[in-house]
Amino acid sequence: MIEVKDLKKEFKKTIKDPGLSGSVKSLFHKKTETVKAVDGLTFDVAEGEILGFIGPNGAGKSTAIKMLTGILTPTSGTLKINGQIPYKNRKQYVKEIGVVFGQRTQLWWDLPLTETYSVLKEIYMIDESKFKDRMEFLNEVLDLQEFIKSPVRTLSLGQRMRADIAASMLHSPKVLFLDEPTIGLDVVVKDNIRKAIAKINKQDKTTIILTTHDLNDIETLCERIVMIDKGKMVYDGSLMKMKNTYGKIREVDVSLFDGNSADKIKLSEAFGLTCEDYDIEKKGTGLVLKFDSSKVNMTDMLNYILKTVGVRDIAVKEADIEEIIRMIYRSEVKLSE
């Protein structure tokens, strides 16, 4: 359904020397610098799949999504979605996709919500009977009834997001792009939106690309994730595999009687670990220790700690998905294995 090959996007950025003199200088002589926002992405998405597209802020997610939706023209690489090339014939291409940018709205701000839907009905040339069925379905899934007659500006953020998702689904698109659809929402609303997305995916076999910073979104919805950082792909595979591969990182929180004694713990000497295998962070009178449990098992590690320092309290944690991703973002985990 979606084929992306070696996709690249470069921007020219003007560099300005600091201060007023810099501003004046840049008026006459512009220095530019090329920024690689997306630097060689390759992945496929099958029909009906929900792909989680994640990465830290500024990783190039939005730029990638904007290319996939036909807004931006790639610098190089090939792109084929639903049999079409997004940037070639934008008007034709966007007829069969739906897009939600969580931070923006496609609703008519001052008009009752229904008006947005009637405008969209005309734009997409949806038949009256089809439109009715569709509205009924979306209403059932997203529960729009209570605010459908209110002007959009009076809606709460959660209502607005539901309305926006409905607006992007009205024409039964084959591919749906959801860019942070749960941003700024409370737990209950997030949960409802996730359920709605899952239902839409199941009923319509819609292919969905979902970007989010909320990993619960990913855990409930996506079987597969693509992670990018600095414009490059750092992981492509199932969530399970990621957990199994990187879940071996374990965390031990230790609270000490004497904060200074923390220095006595020397893992490289005790177990021959290299600095890539562990991480120690001091926190007040305690410390947080992360290590690779495939190199040293937990029992040995605990024994060593209890023997070396005076422990007031100790807690062992399994690294959850959030922790794994945090480590990948901070490049603490090498993904090239």
Partner 1 sequence: MNRLRKIRRTYGAFTNAGIQDFIAYRANFLGFFLGEILMCFVMYFIWKAVYASSGKTDFMGFSMVDMMVYVFLTNIAGFITGTDSTYSIAEEIKDGSIIMRLIKPVKVDLSFLFFELGNKVMLMTCVFIPVMLGLELYRYFALGYVAFKISRLILFVISISISYLLAFYLNLIFGYLAFFLLNLWGFNILKESIIKFFSGAIIPLAFFPGPVRAVFSRLPFASLTYTPVMIYMEKYTGSELVINMLMQVMWLAIFILISKLIWIWAEKRLAVQGG
Q: Which residues bind partner 1 (CB under 8 A)?
A: 11, 62, 66, 69-73, 90-92, 94-95, 97, 99, 101, 103-106, 108, 110-111, 115, 118-119, 121-125, 151
Q: Least distance in Å: CB of 149 to partner 1?
A: 13
Q: Least distance in Å: CB of 253 to partner 1?
A: 37
Separation of first and last alpha carbons in the chain: 29
* Cα–Cα dist 84/23, whole Å: 43
* Cα–Cα dist 320/302, whole Å: 20
Q: Could you tell me if residue 109 is left (phi over 0), alpha (psi between -120 and 50 degrees) or otherwise beta?
A: alpha
Tokens of 223: 């079987």
Residue 6's Cα: distance from chain center in Å?
A: 20
* Cα–Cα dist 28/238, whole Å: 52
Q: Least distance in Å: CB of 121 to partner 1?
A: 8
Q: How far is CA 41 from CA 49, 59, 79, 166, in A?
A: 18, 12, 10, 30
Q: Least distance in Å: CB of 278 to partner 1?
A: 38
Report the interhelical angle of 157-169 vs 128-142 (nearest 10°).
Answer: 140
Pairing type for strands 224-229 and 50-54 reads: parallel
Question: Toward partner 1, which CB reaches closer, 116 or 192?
Answer: 116
Longest dimension (CA), the chain: 76
Question: Toward partner 1, which CB reaches closer, 182 or 192?
Answer: 182
Residue 168's Cα: distance from chain center in Å?
A: 19
Question: Toward partner 1, which CB reaches closer, 101 or 147?
Answer: 101
Residue found under tokens 């997306």: 38
Question: Toward partner 1, which CB reaches closer, 118 or 139?
Answer: 118
Q: Burial level of 278, CB count in 10 A (0-12/13-18/19+)?
A: buried
Q: Least distance in Å: CB of 217 to partner 1?
A: 18
Q: Least distance in Å: CB of 104 to partner 1?
A: 6
Q: Least distance in Å: CB of 60 to partner 1?
A: 13
* Cα–Cα dist 93/85, whole Å: 7
Question: Toward partner 1, which CB reaches closer, 90 or 295?
Answer: 90
Tokens of 135: 């509205």
Q: Least distance in Å: CB of 74 to partner 1?
A: 11
Question: Toward partner 1, which CB reaches closer, 27 or 275?
Answer: 27
Question: Toward partner 1, which CB reaches closer, 119 or 302?
Answer: 119
Question: Toward partner 1, which CB reaches closer, 24 or 315?
Answer: 24
Question: Toward partner 1, which CB reaches closer, 95 or 295?
Answer: 95
Helical ranges in the chain per DSSP H: 19-28, 61-68, 90-93, 113-123, 128-142, 157-169, 187-204, 215-221, 239-246, 267-271, 298-308, 321-329
Q: Least distance in Å: CB of 190 to partner 1?
A: 19
